[in-house]
Structure 1
Amino acid sequence: MSTATQNPPKAGAAVRGRFGALPGWARSAIVVAVGVGLLSITATQTGQIQLTSSGTTQAAVRLLLPILFAALGGLWAERAGVINIGLEGMMILGTWGAAWAGYQWGPYAAVVGGLVFGALGGLLHAVATVSFGVNHIVSGVAITLLGLGVTKYLSTLVFFPVSQNPRQSPRVEAFETFSVQPLADWLLALEREQRVVLSDVAGLLGGLLSGLTPLVVLGFVLVPASYLLLWRTSFGLRLRSCGENPVAAESLGVQVYTYKYVALLISGGLAGLGGAALTLNPGQLGYLEGQTGGRGYIGLAAMIFGNWRPGGLLAGSALFGYVDGVQLRAGGEAVHALLYGASLLAVGLAVLWAVRRRWRTALVALVAGAAVYAVYYSTETVPREFASYAPQIVTLLVLAVASQRLRPPAAVGVEYRRGEGD
């Protein structure tokens, strides 16, 4: 009798093996389908149809965009071995640069202005960490503080004579929106029919295909572009080698300092684009002191949640942007309904882990789901103060859950000096 016959694979291992054997796009499609189904059930059972409406989806896209740009910026920096906690400061610089250029020459100039000012912050981080060996965390915090101070000074100097407000710029011209026609109209019409599941899917897809701007398209294009550049080109291989083993990379002829500088310039530019996305947001259309609201840090959390991969950070950005969009568009009642969905998700995860024979984890998930449902059942809404911090709370919870499977670049945050391998 063969060994395979004597020791048949466990059910959990078989399920995990079949799922793991699927291509990445198929696994992502399954996860998205489960998420949409969960939202549809939640919207139907709680009566909060705003959870799957096209308006909420459009708001979520606008809100996830700055987080997505910041997360991509963090990806480029940390894949090259440099921790970029200064994303928030670079985003702040980007908001000011976008407002200044946008006020002068329009929305396309605003995008360029945000990119350039953010890249300047990335360059400063590169000089401090790569050339002078400053601790990455110290440099990042200093850049954030510097960004706050510089933009406040520049706003007083440049914007105050025009807007009569040292904390706010004049109004910036917005991009014209467009939709993918005729598909968007058909989906929005199907959403209005309020059919179970079908209208929920139509609302989510319709929101993704309508109310678009060139900056939204750029943000979504940069996700696969970053993957192709970092994982499918020799340039990306060399850059990632700087974050895994810079000494070995140098021994093979890789100009480690050059690649780190390039990565941080791109990182800062992407964070600056996040600032431009805030400046060009239809709800603001200009620079406002404090408008980043910690989104640079949330972008860093989205990147960590995504395990330093473009597809994963897109999912993390979408999660945080969606929760923010729900609380802004529908308020505490919709956030309260999400507690019902969270309890269903916890129960589903408990079943999955039980199939994999991870009994302790399954029990913890089941208890957590029961606790969340008890909160949902015993309350009617979520206080406004709590709902406004829902994205930050989700950030903490997601990082706590995802911490077990993270695999950062091996040499990220490690100080490197040229010639160490000699």
Structure 2
Amino acid sequence: MTTATAVNQPSLGSAAPAGRRLSLPVLLLVIAGALALTSIVRIITGADGITNVSQMSTALQLAVPIGLAGLGGLWAERAGVVNIGLEGMMILGTWFGAWAGYQWGPWTGVLVGILGGALGGLLHAFVTVTFNVNHIVSGVAINILALGATRYLAPLAFEGVQGGSAKQSPPVHSLGDFTVPGLSDALQELNAKGWFFVSDIAGLLGGLVTNVSWLTLLAVALIPASWWILWRTAFGLRLRSCGENPVAAESLGVNVYKYKYLAVIISGGLAGLGGVFLSIVANPFYLEGQTSGRGYIGLAAMIFGNWMPGGLALGAGLFGYTDSLNLRGGSENVHALLLLGAVLLAVGAIWLLIRKKYAPALLTAAIGVLMFTWYSVTNEVPNQVVSATPYVITLLVLALSAQRLRMPKADGLPYRKGQGK
């Protein structure tokens, strides 16, 4: 039996996740149902902005750095290393990307930003894998170190340079973007008609083909690429075995330290790429504090996605969409989403009743009634609620999805070479 085959045996803890995994047809039906409910709410409230092309395009742009951070977390945790330091690695990516980008061009900035994030990943791997320091402590330390390092370096590198300051880099040239000719215009026209469901799908698709950055295309391609590498190659099989049962993996000839190091360095590089997106695509310059907690939200998206690339992408899209409400008609759109939330909670309460979970069903129905009452007696929501929406959604999604999650069995556990002997 080959090593790659042996590593796939149940002895390594490859038990199925708790709960049933949704098949692709069922998942598509769920998405279609949610979109249909959103369409109904749009028609009732008149908040056409919740599914227009501009809203979806903005949501995609905001989802990319979250998705890249989450993908970085997925690589690390599939190898058994918890990476709370994603935020710090993103910060390093923003600074190094802008620093190299304004001097030598945006694509050089992309490469250097990835290396900056990978440097943070290497430090995290060195501390946690080699010295067995607690993963959470190491990650928090990297976040603090990255913030302090960039605050120290920014005045040295940018102050006195045209367009730069102690907290901001000079502008970086654009990477360019693309729009699919013909298709983009047709989808925008269809979206503007306001038809039930069809116009909403047109808005969603239109956002995917209108003014899309080349870096966005690369980020989207990394989702299926990561799935293929981790689940369809011998390399990915060995890497995942280190996160399930490193002792058994070592007994079968897997160099556990090497795979953990590689996974965490790749994790840092992906988070760094997310930071580059913020400092070159979302804004054409580095700005202190521009990550705004996206590394943590990326970690939440990964958990929501049950440590799988597809689920992670859905989570990043959800959080990106709620974040986009801050930029485009926030108060009106969030107010309309109160009605959508009330409807979804009503559906959830009915589902819980069918499953004979009476106490959770009653609580869900009560929250739904409160949300509907809030929608009925107001015409808008305070700006503070709009700003807090992405973070509230993050907490709610994690709370509601917690029962179906299964992390890698050895995730975050200390490991010493030869400890199984």
Instruction: Report the TM-score when normalising by structure 1.
Output: 0.92
Separation of aligned partners in 2, 1:99 and 1:119: 16
Separation of aligned partners in 2, 1:149 and 1:393: 28
Aligned to 1:208: 208
Q: Which amino acid aligns with 1:291?
A: Q
Aligned to 1:48: 47
- Tell me, yes or no, if the aligned pair for 2:177 and 2:212 is still in contact at 8 Å: yes
Q: Write the mapping of 1:243-322 to structure 2, written as runs, cut at 5 A.
A: 243-282=243-282, 284-322=283-321
Q: Which amino acid aligns with 1:144?
A: N
- Tell me, yes or no, if the aligned pair for 1:94 and 1:118 is still in contact at 8 Å: yes
Aligned to 2:165: 165
Aligned to 1:420: 419
- Tell me, yes or no, if the aligned pair for 1:93 and 1:147 is still in contact at 8 Å: yes
Deviation at 1:359, TM superposition (A): 3.0
Deviates more, 1:25-34 or 1:385-394: 25-34
Q: Write the mapping of 1:168-179 to structure 2, written as runs, cut at 5 A.
A: 168-179=168-179
Deviation at 1:104, TM superposition (A): 1.6
- Tell me, yes or no, if the aligned pair for 1:327 and 1:334 is still in contact at 8 Å: no
Q: Write the mapping of 1:4-403 to structure 2, written as runs, cut at 5 A.
A: 24-162=23-161, 163-282=163-282, 284-403=283-402
Deviates more, 1:356-365 or 1:160-169: 356-365
Separation of aligned partners in 2, 1:352 and 1:421: 46
Separation of aligned partners in 1, 2:174 and 2:328: 21
- Tell me, yes or no, if the aligned pair for 1:125 and 1:143 is still in contact at 8 Å: yes
Q: Which amino acid aligns with 2:158?
A: F
Separation of aligned partners in 2, 1:56 and 1:400: 27
Query: What does the per-residue CA deviation read over 1:97-120, in whole Å, with 9 as the maximum and x for residues that have no partner?
Result: 110121122222222122110000
- Tell me, yes or no, if the aligned pair for 1:79 and 1:412 is still in contact at 8 Å: yes
Deviation at 1:40, TM superposition (A): 0.8
Q: Which amino acid aligns with 1:304?
A: I
- Tell me, yes or no, if the aligned pair for 2:66 and 2:295 is still in contact at 8 Å: yes
Secondary structure of the corresponding residue to residue 156 of structure 1: helix
Deviation at 1:207, TM superposition (A): 1.1
Secondary structure of the corresponding residue to residue 280 of structure 1: helix
- Aligned identity (percent) is 53
Secondary structure of the corresponding residue to residue 327 of structure 1: coil
Deviation at 1:200, TM superposition (A): 1.8
Separation of aligned partners in 2, 1:196 and 1:327: 25
Q: Given the superposition, is the C-alpha separation of residues 158 and 184 from structure 1 closer, same or farther in structure 2, using an over 3 Å criterion?
A: same
Q: Which amino acid aligns with 2:195?
A: R
Q: Given the superposition, is the C-alpha separation of residues 421 and 140 from structure 1 closer, same or farther in structure 2, using an over 3 Å criterion?
A: same
- Tell me, yes or no, if the aligned pair for 1:53 and 1:204 is still in contact at 8 Å: yes
Q: Given the superposition, is the C-alpha separation of residues 332 and 103 from structure 1 closer, same or farther in structure 2, using an over 3 Å criterion?
A: same
Deviation at 1:182, TM superposition (A): 2.7
Q: Which amino acid aligns with 2:315?
A: G
Separation of aligned partners in 2, 1:270 and 1:227: 14
Q: Which amino acid aligns with 1:239?
A: L
Separation of aligned partners in 2, 1:146 and 1:201: 44
Q: Which amino acid aligns with 1:303?
A: M
Separation of aligned partners in 2, 1:229 and 1:252: 20
Separation of aligned partners in 2, 1:114 and 1:221: 19
Separation of aligned partners in 2, 1:244 and 1:411: 5
Deviation at 1:329, TM superposition (A): 1.0
Secondary structure of the corresponding residue to residue 159 of structure 2: helix
Q: Which amino acid aligns with 2:344?
A: L
CA RMSD of aligned residues (A): 1.5
How many residues are paired up?
A: 402
Secondary structure of the corresponding residue to residue 211 of structure 2: coil
- Tell me, yes or no, if the aligned pair for 1:353 and 1:359 is still in contact at 8 Å: yes
Secondary structure of the corresponding residue to residue 389 of structure 1: helix
Separation of aligned partners in 2, 1:277 and 1:64: 11
Query: What does the per-residue CA deviation read over 1:126-172, in whole Å, with 9 as the maximum and x for residues that have no partner?
Result: 00000111110111011001100111111111111213510000111
Separation of aligned partners in 1, 2:347 and 2:179: 36
Q: Given the superposition, is the C-alpha separation of residues 21 and 177 from structure 1 closer, same or farther in structure 2, using an over 3 Å criterion?
A: closer
Separation of aligned partners in 2, 1:387 and 1:21: 33
Deviation at 1:176, TM superposition (A): 1.8
Separation of aligned partners in 2, 1:152 and 1:108: 24
Secondary structure of the corresponding residue to residue 194 of structure 2: coil
Separation of aligned partners in 1, 2:174 and 2:24: 34
Separation of aligned partners in 2, 1:193 and 1:337: 19
Query: What does the per-residue CA deviation read over 1:230-270, in whole Å, with 9 as the maximum and x for residues that have no partner?
Result: 11111111111101111111011100000000000110000
Query: What does the per-residue CA deviation read over 1:399-422, in whole Å, with 9 as the maximum and x for residues that have no partner?
Result: 111111110111111010101001
Q: Which amino acid aligns with 1:125?
A: H
- Tell me, yes or no, if the aligned pair for 2:164 and 2:170 is still in contact at 8 Å: no
- Tell me, yes or no, if the aligned pair for 1:327 and 1:335 is still in contact at 8 Å: no
